[in-house]
Amino acid sequence: MTTPWDLAVNLKDVVLDFTWLSILLIAGAALRRYVPFFQKYLVPNNIIGGFLGLIIGPQLLGLTNFSVERFGLYVYHLLALVFIAIGLRQQKTRWGTGPVSTGFGMITILCLQGFVGLLVALVLVYSFLPDLFPGFGLLLPLGFGMGPGLAYTMGHSWEHFGFDGGGVVGLTFAAIGFLIAYFIGIPLIQRGIRRNETRLIEGMDSISDAVRKGVFKEPPLKSAGLLTIASEAMEPMAFQVGLIGGLYLLTYAVTYGLAKLMISAGLTDFTPTLWSFHFLVAMLLALGARKLIDMSGRNYLIDRGLMTRSSGLFMDYLVVASIAAISLAIVWSYWMPILFMSVIGGIGTYAFLRWLMWRAFEDHQFERFIGLFGDLTGTINSGLVLVRVTDPEFDTPVAEDLVYGSGIALLMGFPLLVVLNLPMNIFHNTLGGYWITLGILAAYYTLILVVWLAMKFLRLRAVRPAVQST
């Protein structure tokens, strides 16, 4: 059995791929700088560059000959590097009710997306598309709510169970999610401003020309990070990247060792899932390493700013590669279920968030709604971009709650990732197994919602006596 680590690549191809990805990012920045359409919708440079790569690539204009398979491989590895950088930058933070409620909101929507996607897939299997891989629908929450890296990684691992082009389908859902986040999110903000749903009256007019164009040229300019290593001894950025590289090597060693143990125990069929979860191994190792560094009193060696820039760097290349790696032939063969699920998933995400935010939060409901809408169709960056439109200086706690809530949702989302893999690993890809999984998703959704509402009720009961006593 092969893994994403086993694909033979030529060093020349890797170097040329890196240069093309870099050029696409710069081209995306130039288009954002000079094209008003992209400025109007605040489309990130990496998304512009990714679609540009899809257009000039071998599938359409043929101006380049990069490989879709290789780009998918880069997405797989960049995902783990993003998680390592996030884990290393982690510092002690104060978790208030805002981040907790935001995390619960995220996980309930992800469960809902999984339930809707799987239900739609089963309906299609029993009606128009009997040969459709039922796990097709499970890629909806992975692509919409968890991003292209995870969608590709999990979809690719399901190819082992007969899902032809699963990785590319995951990337397609993620790309559609990006489009929904920006091209639906911005009009939703404009409508919310007209309806006075946001208290920040300035709204769209408060976005500076520099932010719209994506280039800052007027001082004061923000600092990217601090120098924690003497430059004459070693480039400080090289030290940060070296930590990330060392932990990724350890990630491979740990995952390889676990795979060997599973094979020796007769669990060979489960190893593709293990390799697809390598990003979680990377995250846990990074958090453990950060804890050890903190305990040793040497946490001054890691600069949060540089680690943030590193994770952003990996994410930019990941997004460009993920969109450029979409196989149009596979998309065409699956166009109906992809379109059907994307429309239903987008409408369902919007409708449930509209219902939920005004009942779950006492403040800044619209900002929380638009932030979670961007996050749960695109990525955390999409959510922050949309929040910034109505809260330019991040004066409200919404942006911070969104960031910290993502960490909470990641912890609560681990059981969800296990559930999404149950039909293939436990129920041997049978239709009955998918129906059981559908029930488990509904039960997990209900459990999360009940726990969340119970916590909210207990908090309100604790607050009332304090208010009465004053």
pLDDT at position 103: 85
Average pLDDT over residues 319-333: 89
| 62 inside domain | yes
| 311 inside domain | yes
Q: How many C-beta neighbours within 10 Å does residue 162 have?
A: 11
Mean pLDDT, rounded, of the chain: 85
Nearest to 373 by CA among 363, 384, 364: 384
For residues 80 and 187, what is the distance between their CA atoms, to the nearest angstrom? 34
3-state secondary structure 47-97: HHHHHHHHHHCCCCCCCCCCCHHHHHHHHHHHHHHHHHHHHHHCCCCCCCH
| 4 inside domain | no
| 69 inside domain | yes
Of 12-16, 293-297, 411-415, which gets the smallest average pLDDT? 411-415
Average pLDDT over residues 373-391: 82
Reply yes or no on whether the pLDDT at 91 is more than 70: no
For residues 90 and 430, what is the distance between their CA atoms, to the nearest angstrom? 41
- Could you write out the DSSP letters of every residue in 240-270? HHHHHHHHHHHHHHHHHHHHHHHHHTT-GGG
Average pLDDT over residues 50-71: 88
Angle in degrees, 0-180, between the axes of helices 398-420 and 431-469, rounded to the nearest 10: 150
Residue 331, token pair as written in the block: 């998309």
* List of long-range contacts for 57-66, beta carbons under 8 Å, 24+ apart: 57/324, 59/327, 59/328, 59/329, 60/328, 64/20, 66/13, 66/16, 66/17, 66/20, 66/324
Q: For residues 277 and 202, is the Cβ–Cβ distance under 8 A?
A: no
467: confidence class by pLDDT, cuts 50, 70, 90:
very low
pLDDT at position 327: 86
Reply yes or no on whether the pLDDT at 305 is more than 90: no
Reply yes or no on whether the pLDDT at 410 is more than 80: no
Per residue in 441-457, pLDDT tens? 999 989 888 888 787 76
| 325 inside domain | yes
| 218 inside domain | no
pLDDT at position 466: 47
Residues present in the chain in total: 470
CA 126 to chain centroid, in Å, comes to: 31
Reply yes or no on whether the pLDDT at 459 is more than 80: no
Average pLDDT over residues 254-265: 89
**Which structural domain range is residue 417 located in?**
32-211+238-465
For residues 360 and 346, what is the distance between their CA atoms, to the nearest angstrom? 21
Per residue in 353-381, pLDDT tens? 998 888 878 778 888 899 899 889 987 77
Per residue in 171-196, pLDDT tens? 899 999 989 988 898 888 888 878 88
| 102 inside domain | yes
Q: With b meaning 16 or more CB within 10 Å and e meaning fewer, what string describes 122-140?
A: bebbeeebeebbbbbbbbb
HSE-up of residue 15 (Cα within 13 Å, Cβ side): 3
The overall pTM is greater than 0.85:
no
Nearest to 47 by CA among 456, 442, 379: 379
Looking at residue 322, its amino acid is S
Residue 468, token pair as written in the block: 């009465």
For residues 291 and 32, what is the distance between their CA atoms, to the nearest angstrom? 40
Angle in degrees, 0-180, between the axes of helices 365-375 and 97-126, rounded to the nearest 10: 50
Q: How many C-beta neighbours within 10 Å does residue 413 have?
A: 22
| 242 inside domain | yes
Residue 319, token pair as written in the block: 């997004």
Cα-flanking dihedrals φ and ψ of residue 66, to 5°?
A: -70, 155
Structural domains counted in the chain: 1
